Structure 1
């Protein structure tokens, strides 16, 4: 009977020792996981903190500073000094139907925004996140009137006649659509590049 008791006690000791060892292993594994989680939290992620889209100057704020794609900011400051066919327009082009034309051009651009974004997506083979699509449309709307006025004011003296207003409107629409397409193309290319860098870095 006494031998059975000693045998039982010995087995219990071995069982408890095995459990202690298992608990120690689990605690060690948990500590390793916590350490890895902390390292992941502290790792400097390669990401875009802020993307500010501009169809006249695609500007992307990154961790490394500002990257300008498209027109140089210095060029934007010289827009009032542009000459057309070698002749300076000589100031704003004001005419009775100007406000109506601006509204019509603006309306046409807004109606074509979805198709322009879709066209750039098809050409690049990449789709933009819906939130980026809405952001682009919102930012274009914010800048559109100023852009239209800039092109109207760049009209040459030869084109500043009422008989050429329809032609002027169509030319302005095409110029602005070209600007928007180029900026969206640049935006998609940059976004795709950023995603590729994240994947290569395992993020």
Structure 2
């Protein structure tokens, strides 16, 4: 075998390989042309812009929870924090007195004692939140201990309010301006 014959074979192999590759390229080109000629539905997503600074909150509703839970304990799950609307039952004069005078006095006393700044609006929000919860808490104690008189229940509520107000101010503080 001489070099000519081996070179000749090598060139033939290379040529054969080039021809095979050219056929593959031609087939792929035909497939591409075929796919491009078909009509495919096109999805066009235009530019999406979010302007968070333009959001406007018309009303913000809810209940400000400041920690009125049984025995001053933390709630275990989200259902424990839900405060259903109090029933329309009328409670006695002691509860009304607590609502009108006791709650504001406790808040004012705690804020003054610890030098916590408190705006009138913030003070009123706290008072309103506590007052909304009092009828339900009253019913809770009445159901838990039916033989308690209303003065004892109001006293328990007063203690609970003091703990809750103290806990609220300890965690949050006064007005932060």
Question: What TM-score results when the alignment is normalised by the length of structure 1?
Answer: 0.43
Q: Which has the higher helix share?
A: 1
Q: Which has the higher strand share?
A: 1
Question: What TM-score results when the alignment is normalised by the length of structure 2?
Answer: 0.49
Could you say which structure has the larger radius of gyration? 2
